[in-house]
Structure 1
């Protein structure tokens, strides 16, 4: 029996580094599971779009089942509205495809491990934790669920032994990265590290880096880390069995 196609749905960016990083991550996923067909699509700015990929899959006749996986760390607007809407419209137009939407990436211990990897790569050693305050810097959202998820991640990191951990946001929410860096200094942390809780480079990660100027260490974005690639496959394997609702039920099916 043919495995469902994994369709990785990224946000997209005008910054070419974003798409390059997404494609590197998808290649790593494919290397972890040879034989699995993995496709990439973008919501905005980059090609191909989600409808373009789904139309190509339908026209080829080589795919029946598709699992669309949002390349998102939290459940915010794109995961709750944009992506479900696009998939429902595609299901109505392409009845030959059976499309399911997987869960977003967070929360997961694998994301904690990916953050820790980037901090180690930036030069922090395990014995540095007790004297180092950590800023977990996310892109930002107005969605309370997404904000709460970042706060929960910061608490989980704090339990691993850091001097203190504070969340920060590049947009939409407060505090900003520079504010959390200063707050950790005021708490008495001997040094401060900033961990961007974002997948790929772009405008908002650059804003995080700008806010980290007064920090001692700036880690890299999560990017094509082994942990992130494994997490994508875990979400693929755990995708719900329920098919995407047809377009006529859009109003009632979109989560509040």
Structure 2
């Protein structure tokens, strides 16, 4: 039986055919459990890897859970968070009307993700805010213009940290590409250009971005955010925010 006083967290990642992605999610959720050992934390994936979120929620309902927090491990709000996850939850609610589901916000945008980006750059020997270094923040890209605008806004805000300049780029669905952004900064006179990988886990896009950026003249490409402490802390905060929002709504 599931303890009714501690809602389980069902973390929903994008999913990938690349096994490194699921391994990274496992590492991240292990760090989350260390921070919140009272919370059952369960992984799920929208595509390409088991288990699917609907199956995890079905299992919780069968085990007697009364409520759960569904937490998207997504860095921007776009199609997956706005359409895919609500669709899954609607189907689960139709099967299990007594299971109360709360949906947490996507991880980004949040200052903790910027801190995690700086951690990964530091691991690639890039000093945060170095005035002789331009940074290209690269995300997967989306057909949702607002999601791409979120990444562009992150890059704009980060410029105030002291970098020579910052720019946003996208691995797919939008421009500029990472190679185009690196080339533009080189042509503008940037002494050094590095790429900050705004990805949760390694996979096809991170490999593609790294190869293209280095070929275009980037000096360094950071690793994905993965199980960085800042990301684990942000997952916990999103969980707590979802519970607080639910309590406030119940009190009205």
Distance in 2 (alpha carbons) for counterparts of 1:30 and 1:146: 29
1:161 aligns with 2:152: no
- Alignment partners' CA distance in 1, 2:113 and 2:165: 19
Aligned mate of 1:241, from 239, 243, 246: 246
SS of structure 2 residue aligned to 1:8? strand
Aligned equivalent of 1:103: 105
Number of residue pairs matched by the alignment: 240
Q: Distance in 1 between matches of 2:143 and 2:58?
A: 33
Shift of 1:3: 1.4
Q: Which residue of 1 aligns with 2:18?
A: 15
* SS of residue matched to 1:168: strand
- Determine the C-alpha separation between the residues in 2 that align with 1:140 and 1:125: 26
1:181-196 matches, cutoff 5 A: 181-196=182-197
Secondary structure of the structure 2 residue equivalent to 1:7:
strand
The aligned residue for residue 67 of structure 1 is 69
Unmatched segments (≥5 aa) in structure 2: 248-252
Q: Select the residue among 95, 111, 118 that pairs with 1:93.
A: 95
Secondary structure of the residue aligned to 1:130 is: coil
Listed one character per residue, the Cα deviations across residues 97-123 of structure 1 (whole Å, up to 9, x for unaligned) are: 111111111111101100000011110
1:224 to 220, 223, 227: 227
TM-score when normalising by structure 2: 0.93
TM-score after normalising by structure 1: 0.91
Q: How far apart are 1:125 and its partner, in Å?
A: 2.2
The CA deviation at 1:59 is 1.1
Q: How do residues 1-256 of structure 1 correspond to structure 2 at under 5 angstroms?
A: 2-61=5-64, 63-126=65-128, 129-213=130-214, 214-239=217-242, 240-241=245-246
Q: Secondary structure at the residue paired with 2:246?
A: coil
Q: 1: CA distance between counterparts of 2:219 and 2:10?
A: 38
**SS at 1:151's partner residue?**
helix
Cα shift at 1:49: 0.6
**Distance in 2, Cα, partners of 1:238 & 1:226:** 18
- In structure 1, how many angstroms separate the alpha carbons of the residues matched to 2:80 and 2:190? 36
